[in-house]
Chains A and B, each alone.
Chain A
């Protein structure tokens, strides 16, 4: 299926579709204050995918949440099409939010265990009424997109395996027709063959919908595969950008490359 993207006003070429400018996020107050993101700058140009790698607790997910407005930066700005979204409130925030969708990492927590799949997708299409009967076709098409049968709509999340649930979460984000997708570890719970499918699927949707994507993963091979450019995050700061595979310059990047669980090189098989 094809999902027509809403046409956004064209931004200046240098602006980037989604931009983080000097974003600092601090959790807690006073003595317990803990700086999670420290003056982070990141630009995702329209129609491209930027990969973000880094270790647990380095702040990748926090940056993802700040990008979509779930976390409010203490200072700095998030810009969508050149307009600041980080300061919005109320209805304008809601409107801006639907243009950026977050797909998160844990398939066990991304779906409401009490809600049938159909209703969860209906909620993504119409957040107020969430009536699955009114959007049956769209729901079926969304499930089809992630290789699930239409009758999955009638079932509850616990009836699916982890990988299937993650595909449903992806379908839910995509039926909302976002312009930007922030994908936080979305394939870490998937099998290779499904992962390959999802990665190919994302590539197709990127082209068809002119989707712009921030792709976060711990899997360097996956990030390398899907991204136009890669940024490395370490302890709340972006430490390296560009061609990290051929010539890693930061010591952390080298450590990251070294701890990737590896398969034997293809040639020997």
Chain B
């Protein structure tokens, strides 16, 4: 990521310089470029750094002067390609399903011809010349844009916010401008820079073979053409324009790569971001732990989003994390997986997966293979533009060094293991061709592919129906039984947690308020007032059913991360609150085996029973 953003900067700076050159060169060197020195076809000399051409004109000056025409042509051709393409691509989307199908087929056919062949055909029809060449190349590149636009628009148009806008009565052209284009702008920009490099080469090619710019005008391609005649007498004459074309193309490529990396939704925070807190490390409370998290804080600016979270996961254990929306469940999990967004930072006293110190950064290979992640958002977990196969095999090929064939076989096996039918065919499909449940299963397959020791699953069943959810939970149980994969399973659904996990962490306002074995939860031995309130707010099949009776709610809402009080964060909503609660943050007290609660009222009863 660092490299690509440097590449982006270098590319932009380089292209900027070339643009300045395009403006300035004809003014500065225009005279030299047209001046007939009388010394025709002279080699490299102090006076003429790249020699002179057949009429004795300075090649370097001509190359520099040609920058303007070349760049202007390239920009216009790229703009033509982009405009036609985007219009076509969106028109196909706005049209009805019949037209859409025909349009997409047509675009597919056009894309399958190399752009240069199309360009030659158009140029042959329009005849030789500058304008003809620009139009030809512009038209030739437009199918690529049309297809990308159509694909991207299709994936955005399928999202709920577009249908919501339609239901609200937003006119189609406004949906296009307001919702579609902004959401596909990034990949289009990437393609734009790729197309810029492509049109540059293609235009130069046309001029080179004499179909493009005609004398007395000249661009780099035309210079290359004349330079080639003198290849044996003065190779430098061809070298000038050749280097110019290559350099500009490469710079545009840098920009494209940089933009593409920036647009990747799964851009990972820079490894090594987690800083060690300068505190004496707490003695490891659990020697056999697979994952040890001690004093984890995640903050955005000065605001602590996750505030001193400590827990362990033992080998083969499924630990559930339950808590309200915004309580920091996802951030905690993503801090462990080292997948935090750039906007937040994490600190911890200790963060360790077995012998792997997650604080030390580095070891991306081990991170990628030993921790599997199933995201909360199934729509964002796969890149909509790429096929399932490529996305599944990427980690195997990158971090496990498997070949293409072997990786595909493993991926197909993994899909089969999560009971996805016709796995081979699925690998060739795009994410939107799978149903929500299937996509989530594919995600689980992908997370288990490298045989991780810890699986982090963030609300993997939230968007699914109850019978599919039951299947997914069974898949996870199976992986746990078969491979002994430990899991950190996040859910807001206490019923799901109770049916899957061995141990439960209850989070509230960025802290763990209670930690207890599922058996205790099931037996009604939850002690923390928040956990108990959570259980009471859950509608249940056995007792409810009067249709519309008020559910027990917890009054108020959790404090925003910036407004968390010094004392207990639950104090403003707690029925058992006492003066001490608002002043002093409750520490976790043991109330049973593997059972701790952070609450003053609970601590009091523990003391009473002890004395």
Contact = CB atoms under 8 A, between A and B. Distances in A.
Contacts of B522: 263-264
B541 A220 contact: yes
B491 to A, nearest CB: 10
B494 A109 contact: no
B551 A199 contact: yes
B609 interface: no
Interface in A186-239: 188-197, 199-200, 203, 218-222, 224-228
A266 B435 contact: no
B583 interface: no
Nearest to A100: B167
Interface in B529-552: 532-535, 537-545, 547-552
A127 B165 contact: yes
B470 A259 contact: yes
Interface stretch (A8-16, A18-26, A75-83, A112-120): A112-120
Contacts of A60: 465
B51 to A, nearest CB: 53
Contacts of A113: 183
B433 to A, nearest CB: 12
A199 B550 CA distance: 8
B321 to A, nearest CB: 12
Nearest to A228: B547
B214 interface: no
Nearest to A105: B463
A106 B160 contact: yes
A259 B540 contact: no
A255 interface: yes
B169 A97 contact: yes
A69 to B, nearest CB: 8
A257 interface: yes
Contacts of A193: 324, 533-534, 537, 553-554
Contact of A130 (B178, B473, B535, B539): B178
Contacts of B163: 65, 70, 102, 104
A263 B492 contact: no
A261 B462 CA distance: 13
B499 A114 contact: no
Interface stretch (B193-201, B274-282, B375-383): B375-383
A192 B493 CA distance: 7
Contact of A264 (B159, B523, B550): B523
A106 B379 CA distance: 9
A172 interface: yes
Given A196-B552, A263-B540, A220 B160 contact: no
Interface in B249-275: none
Interface in A161-193: 161-164, 169, 172-173, 176, 185, 188-193
B235 to A, nearest CB: 52
Classify chain A's interface size. Answer: 35 or more
Contacts of B164: 102, 104, 110, 169, 172-173
A106 B498 contact: no
A123 interface: yes
Contacts of A140: none
Interface residues of B, number: 73
Contacts of A88: none
A115 B178 contact: yes
Contacts of B534: 191-193
A130 B171 CA distance: 12
B48 interface: no
A153 interface: no
B464 A56 contact: yes
A76 to B, nearest CB: 19
Contact of A255 (B467, B533, B543): B467
B167 A98 contact: yes
A68 B160 CA distance: 13
Contacts of B183: 112-114
B551 A115 contact: no
A123 B462 CA distance: 28
A269 interface: yes
Nearest to A252: B467
A78 B463 CA distance: 27
A189 B506 CA distance: 17
Interface string A101-138: 11011101111111100001001100110100000000
Interface string B458-471: 01001111111110
A94 B435 CA distance: 29
Given A55-B467, A196-B552, A261 B535 contact: no
A128 B466 contact: no
A2 interface: no
A127 B171 contact: yes
B89 to A, nearest CB: 18
A224 B466 CA distance: 15
Contacts of B431: none
B459 A226 contact: no
Contact of A161 (B325, B437, B465): B325
B182 interface: yes
Nearest to B326: A161
Contacts of B323: 191
Contact of A262 (B326, B495, B532, B544): B495
B541 A257 contact: yes
B435 A261 contact: no
Contacts of A55: 465-468
A57 B471 CA distance: 14
Given A70-B167, A98-B167, A256 B466 contact: yes
Interface in B300-352: 323-326, 330
A73 interface: no
B126 interface: no
A269 B535 contact: yes
A220 B547 contact: no
B557 interface: yes
Contacts of B545: 224-225, 245
B435 A57 contact: yes
B347 to A, nearest CB: 21
A259 B466 contact: yes
A115 B164 CA distance: 13
Given A127-B168, A218-B466, A219-B466, A56 B437 contact: yes
Contacts of B547: 224-228
A58 to B, nearest CB: 8
A164 B325 CA distance: 7
A50 B106 CA distance: 46
B198 to A, nearest CB: 28
Contacts of B532: 269
Interface string A58-73: 1010000100111000
Contacts of A94: 169
Nearest to B181: A114
A196 B498 contact: no
Contacts of B379: 106, 108-109
A127 B524 CA distance: 50
Given A261-B495, A266-B542, A109 B159 contact: yes
A110 B163 CA distance: 9
B174 interface: yes
4 closest A-B pairs by beta carbon, nearest first, are A163-B325, A269-B524, A56-B465, A218-B465
9 contacts: A55-B465, A97-B169, A108-B379, A162-B376, A218-B464, A263-B535, A265-B542, A266-B542, A268-B523
Given A255-B467, A261-B469, 19 more contacts: A57-B435, A70-B166, A101-B167, A105-B463, A106-B160, A108-B376, A127-B169, A162-B459, A172-B164, A189-B492, A190-B492, A192-B537, A196-B551, A220-B541, A222-B539, A261-B466, A262-B499, A262-B541, A269-B526
